[in-house]
């Protein structure tokens, strides 16, 4: 066999190997595709956990200023009341109202944070309310207007006593949507379950 016949195949193999390496390098240095940007509403739709303490670090004034600039309703400008109560098998359904007393228009969206409190000092009893499986929408409130929501309270007596740990309660602590300060409303004859893993509350969105 002639030397020239050996050189040509060797050159071809070298060229193919270099081409393959170049292709692999391009794949490794390819720029990853960016995730699409997710746009969200300016107004917060979530309330903090009801067992969250009010702001004690001096930042509440900043929070109020920021939310007011967005047109959001703040706890300090809302009056909480129980507008009515409906009876149902094994539960109580409370109709609650948040009245805008701020002197200016505001808006909110989402679910309030709600928990049962007692002991005459606001001690939380049991787990906070579960949210109903319902959609939410913006609620626009002029000064004096009212937003409504419902809280369903299951009877503590309907649960196993050892699991529930029935405890006399004073009322409800409510965080309006997007707020870190709460309001309180008395609910006569209320009994909660002291088990911190058990919630006997369900809350609907503001409307």
pLDDT attached to residue 64: 56
pLDDT at 53 over 80: no
In a domain? residue 119: yes
pLDDT at 8: 44
Domain of residue 194, CATH code: 2.60.40
In the sheet that 113-118 helps form, which strands lie side by side, from edge to edge?
A: 123-125, 113-118, 171-175, 183-186
55 within some domain:
no
CA distance 164 to 23: 66
More confident residue, 198 or 55: 198
Q: Does the model's pTM come out above 0.75?
A: no
Number of domains making up the chain? 1
136 and 110 in contact (C-beta within 8 Å)?
yes
Q: Output the pLDDT for position 89.
A: 85
Please report whether residue 174 resides in a domain: yes
| Mean per-residue pLDDT, 38-52 | 38
Query: Is residue 49 one of the residues assigned to a domain?
Result: no
**What value does the mean pLDDT take over residues 55-84?**
73
Q: Per-residue pLDDT averaged across 51-79, rounded?
A: 64
* Predicted pLDDT of residue 132: 96
Alpha helices in the chain (DSSP H): 3-28, 60-70, 161-164
In a domain, 127, yes or no: yes
At 126 the pLDDT is 98
Range of the domain at 165: 60-203
pLDDT digits (tens, 9 = 90+) for 148-205: 999 999 999 999 999 999 999 999 999 999 999 999 999 999 999 999 999 999 999 9
Q: Tell me whether residue 67 is in a domain.
A: yes
24 is a domain residue: no
Assigned domain for 18 exists: no
């Amino acid at each position: 066999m002639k030397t020239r016949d050996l050189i040509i195949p060797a050159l071809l193999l070298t060229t193919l190997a270099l081409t393959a390496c170049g292709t692999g390098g391009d794949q490794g240095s390819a720029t990853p595709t960016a995730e699409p940007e997710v746009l969200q509403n300016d107004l917060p739709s979530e309330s903090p956990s009801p067992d969250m303490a009010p702001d004690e670090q001096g930042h509440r004034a900043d929070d109020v200023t920021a939310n007011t600039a967005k047109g959001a309703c703040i706890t300090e400008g809302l009056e909480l009341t129980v507008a009515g109560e409906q009876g149902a098998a094994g539960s109580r359904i409370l109709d609650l109202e948040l009245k805008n007393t701020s002197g200016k228009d505001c808006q909110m969206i989402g679910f309030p944070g709600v928990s049962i409190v007692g002991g005459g000092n606001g001690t939380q009893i049991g787990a906070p309310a579960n949210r109903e499986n319902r959609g939410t929408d913006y609620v626009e409130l002029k000064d004096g207007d009212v937003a409504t929501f419902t809280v369903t309270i299951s009877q503590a007596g309907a649960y196993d006593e050892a699991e529930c740990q029935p405890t006399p309660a004073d009322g409800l602590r409510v965080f309006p949507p997007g707020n870190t300060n709460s309001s309180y409303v008395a609910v006569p004859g209320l009994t909660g379950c002291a088990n911190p893993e058990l919630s006997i509350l369900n809350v609907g969105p503001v409307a």
